[in-house]
Amino acid sequence: MFKNFGKDLLKAFNTGVSYFIPVVVVGGVFYAFSLLGATADSTSGMVATNPFMLNLQAIGNSGLKVMIPVLAAYIAYSFGGKPALAPGFVLGYLANNMADSGITSTGFLGAMFLGVAVGYWVKWMKTWKVSKTIHTIMPILVMPILTTFVFGLLYIYILALPLGMFMNWLTVILGNLQGGSAAVLGIVIGLMTAFDMGGPVNKAASTFTMALMTTTPALYIPNGAFRVAVAIPPLACGIASFIARNKYDDADRQIGISAIFMGLIGITEGAIPFAVKDLPHTLPGIMIGSAVGACLAMVQGVECYVPHGGMIVAFATNNIGLYTLDMAIGTFVAVFILIIMKPNLKKNSDPKIAERAAA
Amino acid sequence: MKIVAVCACTVGIAHTYMAQEAIQKECEKRSYEYKVETQGGYGIENELDEDDIDSADVVLLAIAIGIEGDERFDKKREEGKVLSLDPAEVIADPSGAIDRVIALAQ
């Protein structure tokens, strides 16, 4: 059962996140919208006063409240299948939304722990040898009740304290980053984003910034930095291919058009064809550009409320102007470096030109 | 040679379909029969049914997440005819991925 533990663990997290993302998108978008035209209150940040906006905020908060249960449930599902869903949802909710009842909220971390624990436990319960009658009521009574009982109590009496302390520490440290340290985090986020353009390193940065949105209070600035960064590699490659006519050929420009669109809608993978064709001259430019954009966003406190990037989510940030500006600056820097580093296209690669030169 | 595949990445909007395209292109190059199911943000598309899987020589699972209907491949799994790879691997080196999966047919 524990043979491929590492691989199964990664697969489980990915499965959970896969179902989690659209929920966060919905929660974040409605929440962001509700803050348009909100007034700044010194104690609780931005406060919406308009009744319509408050209703939108209610929709948004519904999404934000259900996202952790979804995450926990589908991590559990990956290991234990359908019978793992019920305890997964319930315990995910317990670990995130019951602060009023004195249960520590541990967001992402709690969901991860409980999801894995519930999933493995249910997987094991499926192998129990029981009588025919008991077998019938296993998935509907025995499994959900026993699982929730065991891990509910485990969470409340044992896990919540250390996990809660860690989350608190994380929130305090990352929530109070100023100046130099904020800049460093931004640079790291930017570098990771562009390094493999949607690959595992990029995914680590995205998961990390998403997890920070589930803390209490939620941290949206690292996500803001990340979402600025994701757009820069494809935008920069696309724009560079059009500006530097003697360094990119027509095929590049074809891809460049779609890369620009992909950058605008926040799909870093648009830069992959350029990177594959010429990694050494592409990677530095996009990495530095993303680092610059993300660094600026961190230092300026640009928040993004949705787990998606590019210009299409600009409205879901706390400062459309700065968000756009940081993306533009980062792209500009990346384009500059790309053009400087890239060699001119070889003149003799075209046989007709070589003939004429020889004549 | 008939290959069936499932592509499923985490976010479900880019790599899933890039992997599908990569597999299809490579199979066309080699004149292999193929059917590629995707499980992206929309859920199951181009679903593989029992006949598709039974008549296939090998199965390539280009997946990063747990997929729906994983049990469909249990029989082929027991025969050692299933290869699981990360979608990014398949996109980076489609030829290599196909080589590895058809090796299971021997």
Give the model confidence (pLDDT) of A206-227 as tens digits. 999 999 999 888 899 999 999 9
- Are A204 and A196 within 8 A, CB to CB? no
Measured between CB atoms, does B41 come within 8 Å of chain A? Answer: yes
Q: Note whether B88 contacts A: Cβ–Cβ < 8 A.
A: yes
A358 pLDDT tier (thresholds 50, 70, 90): low
User: For the residues A173-202, what does the mean pLDDT come to?
Assistant: 90
DSSP character at residue B6: E
What domains can you pick out in chain B, each with its CATH number? 2-105 (3.40.50.2300)
- Contacts of residue B65 in chain A, CB cutoff 8 Å? 11, 14-15, 18, 78
pLDDT at site A176:
85
Specify the amino acid at residue A32. A
Task: List, as ranges, residues 44-63 from B with C-beta within 8 Å of A.
Answer: 63
Structure tokens at A329: 């600056």
Asked whether the predicted pLDDT for residue A357 surpasses 80, the reply is: no
Phi, psi for B3 (deg, rounded to 5): -115, 130
Counted across chains A and B, CB pairs separated by less than 8 A come out at: 34
Cα dihedral across residues B93, B94, B99, B102: positive or negative: positive
> For residue A166, what are the contacts with CB-CB under 8 A and spacing of at least 6?
A109
Beta partners for B44? B39
A18–B12 CB contact, under 8 Å: yes
Q: How confident is the model at residue A43 (pLDDT cuts 50, 70, 90)?
A: low
Strand order of the sheet with strand B33-40? Answer: B43-45, B33-40, B2-8, B58-63, B82-85
Residue-level pLDDT at A356: 54
Indicate whether A353 pLDDT > 70. Answer: no
Calculate the CA dihedral of residues A279, B89, A269, A9 and round it to 10 degrees. -130
Q: Does the pLDDT of residue A41 top 90, yes or no?
A: no
The 8-class DSSP code of residue A19 comes to H
For position A1, what pLDDT does the model report?
61
pLDDT of residue A147 exceeding 80: yes
Q: What is the pLDDT of residues A288-346, one digit of tens each?
A: 999 999 999 999 999 999 999 999 999 999 899 999 999 999 999 999 999 999 998 87
Interface test with B, best of A269, A279, A313 (most B CBs within 10 A): A269
pLDDT of residue A90: 97
Q: State how far the Cα of B1 lies from the Cα of B104, in Å rounded to an integer.
A: 12
Catalytic residue from among B5, B7, B9, B63 = B9
Average pLDDT score, chain A: 90
> How many angstroms separate the most distant Cα atoms in chain B?
35
Domain locations along chain A:
5-175, 179-348
pTM recorded for the entire structure: 0.85
What pLDDT does A124 receive? 96
**CA distances (Å), A283 to each of A195, A278, A279, in order?**
7, 9, 6
Burial-class residue A340 by CB neighbours within 10 Å (0-12, 13-18, 19+). Answer: exposed
Q: What is the DSSP letter of A157?
A: I
Single-letter residue type at A340: I
Q: What average pLDDT does the segment B4-28 reach? A: 94
Residues of B in contact with A276 (CB under 8 A): 92
Please report the ipTM that was assigned to this predicted complex.
Answer: 0.89
Residues of chain A above pLDDT 70, percent? 93
Q: Assess whether pLDDT exceeds 70 at residue A261.
A: yes
Contacts of B12 in chain A (CB under 8 A): 18
d(CA A293, CA A148): 45
pLDDT at A33: 86
Confidence of residue A170 (pLDDT cuts 50, 70, 90): confident
pLDDT single digits (tens) A73-130: 999 999 999 999 999 999 999 999 998 999 999 989 999 999 999 999 999 999 999 9
**Interface subset of A 232-271, CB within 8 angstroms of B:** 267, 269
pLDDT at A174: 87
Around Cβ A188, how many Cβ atoms within 10 Å?
18
Interface of B with A in 1-20 (CB under 8 A): 10-15, 18
A253 — pLDDT class (breaks 50, 70, 90): very high
How far, in Å, CA of B30 to CA of B27, rounded?
Answer: 5
Separation between Cα atoms, residue A333 and residue A301, nearest integer Å:
20
Hey, is the C-beta of B43 within 8 angstroms of any chain A C-beta?
A: no
Contact partners, residue A155, CB within 8 Å, separation at least 6: A91, A94, A95, A103, A110, A114
Residues A61 and A125: beta-carbon distance below 8 Å: no
Nearest CA among A345, A229, A231, A226 for reference residue A281: A345
**Strand runs labelled E in chain A:** 39-41, 45-47
- Taking residues A24-52, report their average pLDDT: 78
d(CA A220, CA A304): 6
Q: What CA–CA distance (Å, rounded) separates A263 from A89?
A: 35
* Rounded-to-integer distance, Cα A186 and Cα B49, Å: 47
A contacts of B41 (beta carbons < 8 Å): 22
Q: Which residues of A touch B10 (CB under 8 A)?
A: 14, 17-18, 21, 203
Question: What per-residue confidence (pLDDT) applies to A352?
Answer: 53
Both tokens of residue A306? 């949705």
Substitution target from A18, A206, A258 for chain B, most B beta carbons within 10 A: A18
Q: Is B27 a catalytic residue?
A: no
Burial class (CB in 10 A: 0-12, 13-18, 19+), A334: buried
Residue B13 has pLDDT above 90, yes or no: no
- DSSP code for A84: G
Is A354's pLDDT higher than 80?
Answer: no
E strand or H helix that includes residue B4: strand B2-8
What is the Cα–Cα distance from A63 to A66, expressed in whole angstroms? 5
pLDDT band at A277 (very low <50, low <70, confident <90, very high): confident
Higher-pLDDT residue of A344 and B27 is: B27
A198 with B13: Cβ contact below 8 A: no
Give B66's Cβ-side CA count (13 Å radius): 23
Residue window 157-216, chain A: list those with CB within 8 Å of chain B: 198-200, 203
Q: What pLDDT, on the 0 to 100 scale, is given for residue A48?
A: 74
